[in-house]
């Protein structure tokens, strides 16, 4: 006890603090008085204002908040929160940040209709800096990003301009599939799908001189961390993400400084950033960023469709039969094209063939596995569902909860491939409640290219390979919480398939 007292006295002396307890009476009383006055001011202000802020989901860990509960099971967490707060708006504290979530379909659509109040622009700036490491010079001091880069991307990916990219992807996936060695043992469905998709899409975007295999693992590590950083998870806790991002950026920069023949979208981007005299760092970032939104989502739709459909009693056979019937009809109507319809997939799909089952299955896969938070920054104080939303708040539109709402979709928690057959898969029971690409003026501009990518990829794979589940090596595959809020969920578990060339 004497040693403890001695230590206390020594620390008091070192910091110039009084030793006698009597000397602490005045400062303690002053601190108590200040606290009481502060609390009374807060109480007075809260009682005198008409503001009614959204409720906050309770949590017992300071600063960390509900982070663990959300990560453990985001679907259960947000389902419970939606039931607890039926007004459709509630706050969640995670890792030092409070975000306000909107789970009501009508409120989400209300937000989409007011882009001058709820904007995507401020969110894009935050993601550009935190997720992709754009410099402040580019994001805030230069007009190049907003006035040249983004419009250029939208122009190249617009339906009337995107067909050269579609045709290039069709040629590349056909070549990649033909060159792919037939595995002698069963392989992971995830690895099989993602590597084929990356090989074909990277050549479509960047040309043949960028070898994605050289940094495939770094790309995976980078992709697995983007969603956390975008949700304001502290980057200092994401060291693997930061290291992998730096290596990917470096590979892209090295690619730019060697002879290369990129596709139109990347070619236009490169011309813009070189004319703008960007730093080497921002040059690398500029060509890395357009690849991520596509590859973080589109091939995962193909993966999930194969995983979900192959486990059903009917398997993939009805989809293949539908494609063949439509292909036969198309070939008969277009004798000017020689060879099978699979040699002309862009023209085949552009003609809008009758493939309601495939189209519906794709739409249902997106409904069932997507998790787009569709975030918006608030530009001015406003009211939403009777709650005061402050300028500077961040709103998160919980589109996944809409997709899993029994009031919006019958058997919402089930994967039903024929759900959209009545509408040929084009939309849903209502455009109002089908939101895998977000909504409003900030709806994903790449959605048209995405559908071509999925259809061409699946057709090419299914017409070249027979896939059979290896039930000995496989483990149950379910949707994990990884990539929540940023497109399609990632899998937990592994399906292994025996791949036979047809």
| pLDDT attached to residue 237 | 86
| pLDDT attached to residue 43 | 38
Per residue in 372-399, is it b (16+ CB within 10 Å) or e — as a string?
Answer: bbbbbbbbeeeebbebebeeebbbbbbb
Q: Give the residues across from 469 on adjacent strands.
A: 497
Q: Name the pLDDT band for 20 (thresholds 50, 70, 90).
A: low
| pLDDT attached to residue 141 | 83
Q: Name the pLDDT band for 6 (thresholds 50, 70, 90).
A: low
Q: With contact defined as beta carbons under 8 Å apart, do 256 and 270 qualify?
A: yes
Mean pLDDT of 420-436: 68
Taking alpha carbons only, the member of 391, 486, 452 closest to residue 168 is: 452
| pLDDT attached to residue 431 | 63
Mean pLDDT of 274-284: 93
Mean pLDDT of 209-232: 93
| pLDDT attached to residue 232 | 84
Q: Give the residues across from 372 on adjacent strands.
A: 485, 486
Mean pLDDT of 470-490: 94
Dump the DSSP string for 283-335: HHHHHHTTHHHHHTTHHHHHHHHHHHHHTSTTTTHHHHHHHHHHHHHHHHH-T
Q: What percent of the chain has pLDDT over 70?
A: 88
| pLDDT attached to residue 25 | 45
């Amino acid at each position: 006890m004497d040693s403890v007292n001695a230590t206390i006295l020594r620390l008091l002396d070192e910091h110039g603090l009084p030793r006698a307890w009597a000397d602490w009476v005045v400062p303690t009383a002053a601190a108590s008085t200040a606290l009481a006055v502060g609390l009374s001011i807060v109480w007075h202000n809260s009682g005198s204002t008409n503001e009614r802020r959204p409720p906050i989901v309770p949590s017992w860990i300071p600063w960390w908040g509900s982070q663990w509960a959300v990560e453990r099971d985001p679907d259960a967490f947000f389902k419970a929160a939606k039931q607890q707060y039926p007004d459709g708006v509630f706050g969640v504290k995670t890792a030092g940040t409070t975000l306000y979530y909107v789970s009501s379909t009508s409120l989400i659509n209300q937000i989409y209709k007011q882009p001058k109040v709820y904007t995507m622009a401020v969110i894009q700036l935050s993601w550009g800096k935190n997720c992709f490491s754009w410099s402040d010079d580019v994001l805030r001091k230069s007009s190049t990003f907003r006035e040249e880069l983004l419009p250029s991307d939208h122009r190249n990916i617009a339906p009337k301009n995107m067909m050269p990219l579609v045709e290039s992807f069709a040629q590349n996936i056909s070549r990649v599939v033909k060159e792919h060695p037939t595995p002698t043992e069963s392989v992971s469905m995830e690895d099989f799908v993602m590597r084929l998709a990356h090989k074909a899409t990277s050549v479509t975007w960047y040309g043949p001189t960028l070898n994605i295999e050289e940094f495939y693992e770094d790309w995976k590590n980078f992709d697995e961390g983007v969603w956390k950083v975008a949700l304001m998870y502290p980057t200092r806790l994401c060291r693997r993400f930061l290291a992998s991002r730096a290596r990917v950026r470096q590979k892209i920069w090295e690619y730019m400084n060697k002879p290369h023949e990129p596709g139109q979208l990347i070619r236009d981007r490169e011309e813009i950033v070189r004319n703008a005299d960007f730093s080497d760092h921002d040059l690398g970032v500029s060509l890395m960023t357009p690849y991520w939104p596509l590859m973080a989502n589109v091939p995962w739709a193909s993966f999930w469709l194969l995983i979900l459909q192959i486990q059903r009693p009917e398997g993939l056979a009805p989809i293949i039969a539908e494609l063949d019937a439509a292909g036969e009809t198309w070939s008969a109507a277009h004798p000017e094209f020689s060879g099978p319809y699979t040699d002309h997939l862009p023209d085949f799909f552009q003609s809008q063939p009758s493939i309601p089952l495939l189209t519906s299955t794709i739409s249902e896969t997106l409904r069932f596995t997507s998790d787009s938070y569709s975030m918006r920054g608030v530009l001015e104080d406003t009211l939403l569902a009777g709650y005061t939303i402050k300028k500077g708040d961040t709103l998160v539109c919980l589109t996944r909860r809409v997709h899993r709402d029994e009031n919006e979709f019958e058997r919402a928690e089930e994967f039903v491939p024929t759900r959209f057959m009545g509408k040929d898969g084009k939309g849903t029971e209502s455009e109002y409640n089908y939101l895998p690409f977000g909504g409003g003026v900030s709806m994903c501009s790449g959605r048209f290219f995405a559908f071509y990518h999925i259809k061409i990829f699946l057709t090419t794979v299914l017409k070249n390979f027979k896939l059979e589940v290896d039930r000995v090596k496989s483990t149950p595959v379910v949707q994990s919480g990884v990539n929540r809020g940023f497109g399609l969920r990632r899998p937990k578990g592994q399906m292994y398939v025996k791949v036979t060339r047809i």
